Amino acid sequence: MPVSFGDNVRFRSTPVTERLGVAGQIGTVYGESVPSASGVEVEGPCPSDFAVNVFIESRRESFWVSPEHVEFVDHGAGQVMTIGEKRFVRDASGEWMERH
């Protein structure tokens, strides 16, 4: 399953995640990018030219990695996102529902 913004993911055990000391840890996808266009620095190879930014709350640190280095845990139901005056809450299916 592809991961996207707001998903909770677990770092797989790979040479890259072992080097970073994050293998097995859980984080939240805070961003997505095409490194060749954005210039973000990705940890390790990025063969698909697509990367996700994963934030680990306990470390207060984020990492740009190729999606191959993470596995889906859940959609992070209950997360709240505010854009201007609009408030959205994520449900268990991954949908962002506008709340008033």
pLDDT at 95 over 80: yes
Q: How many CB atoms lie within 10 A of CB 92?
A: 10
pLDDT tens digits, residue range 30-76? Answer: 999 999 999 999 999 999 999 999 999 999 999 999 999 999 999 98
pLDDT of residue 76: 87
pLDDT of residue 86: 94
- Please, which pLDDT band fits residue 1 given cuts at 50, 70 and 90? low
